């Protein structure tokens, strides 16, 4: 039996996602840096968007593909979606070593 936060991902049990930044040609990839006191498994949110998540994303609507186009790091290397910071439950910002790059 799987826990709520566990999923099979290509046949392998997964308990989360790793977010990474990459440059335009994907030759440099860096993981997003969490604040040192962040708790694994905590729900992250974007500044100004603390609503209830969808139960399931419908693949035909391509929601993730549309939203992820604006998911990036700003000029300071902070993770943003449409200029709204990606935050921990404590309100701390997530960052990357790479600035002005896409996040996947």
Beta strands in the chain (DSSP E): 7-9, 12-14, 20-22, 29-31, 45-46, 71-73, 79-81, 84-87, 102-103
pLDDT of residue 16: 67
Specify the CATH number for 17-103; select among 3.30.300.30, 3.30.450.80, 2.40.50.140, 3.30.530.20.
2.40.50.140
Section 5-13 average pLDDT = 64
Does 93 have pLDDT greater than 90?
A: yes
Does 4 have pLDDT greater than 50?
A: no
Tokens 């449409």: give the residue: 82
- Domain boundaries of the chain, sorted by first residue: 17-103
Phi, psi of 60 (to 5 degrees): -70, -25
């Amino acid at each position: 039996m799987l826990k709520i936060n566990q999923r099979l991902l290509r046949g392998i049990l997964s308990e989360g996602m790793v977010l990474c930044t990459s440059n335009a040609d994907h030759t440099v990839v860096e993981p997003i840096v969490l604040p040192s006191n962040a708790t694994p498994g905590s729900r992250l949110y974007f500044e100004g968007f603390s609503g209830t998540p969808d139960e399931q994303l419908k693949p035909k609507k391509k929601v993730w593909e549309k939203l992820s186009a604006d998911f990036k790091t700003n000029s300071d290397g902070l993770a943003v979606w449409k200029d709204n910071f990606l935050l921990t439950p404590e309100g701390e910002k997530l960052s990357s070593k790479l600035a002005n790059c896409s996040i996947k």
